[in-house]
Structure 1
Amino acid sequence: MGLFTKTGSIEVSALTALAYAYAGLLFDDLCDACQDYSSVQVELQQLFDAADQAEPRQRFLMICLQYDRLSQILPDPIWWISGAPEIAGVFADHFIRHLKNLNGSGEVVP
């Protein structure tokens, strides 16, 4: 997937792009699953509050649990990242940061 450089360090730009894409898709799924935008905000605030108290790899697990809550299959790239714990926390940080941006963007009309 190109998430590591030849020297074995994390390819941050690729990981960030992947996190942003899948955070956007999860945000869309939440908007589809909830009755209204205030329900989306409640769901996300619960995730954000828990993530603020969690360790990086725990934040990754919280993302996975969001897919379970929505009865969605975990996307393959996220599944693959679960097998690479050294990048799971970094991915989760970018993912949650982008969800926060989407949630506060004002682009969704209630």
Structure 2
Amino acid sequence: MRAIRPVTCEGEAAGPALGLIDDYQFITVEEPFDSGDRLVLFTDGVFEAADPNGEEFGMDRLAVTVKRGIGPPLDAALSKLLAEVTVFSGGLAFADDVCVVAVETTAS
């Protein structure tokens, strides 16, 4: 996401999981980064986390949660994101792996 405006690049994965097949040629996307921009990566376990009724957290709710994290420091934004997913799921154990990785660029 940009420091000022979010930019998303999403879609169905067309290949195998990273590291599963040696020398697999994945599609690459290039996007310039400015100081303050953040890159947030996550596994499908984040948006597939379900509440007690079986409703998934979903990509729309995840996008809104990530966008709310533009202002706060990165560690606080990630803690808030994971807390929202946990509260949504009613404290139930996640059915799939949940991993979020984020980086923020700084002036060079």
TM-score by length of 2: 0.37
| Structure with greater proportional strand content | 2
| Structure with greater proportional helix content | 1
Structure with greater Cα Rg: 2
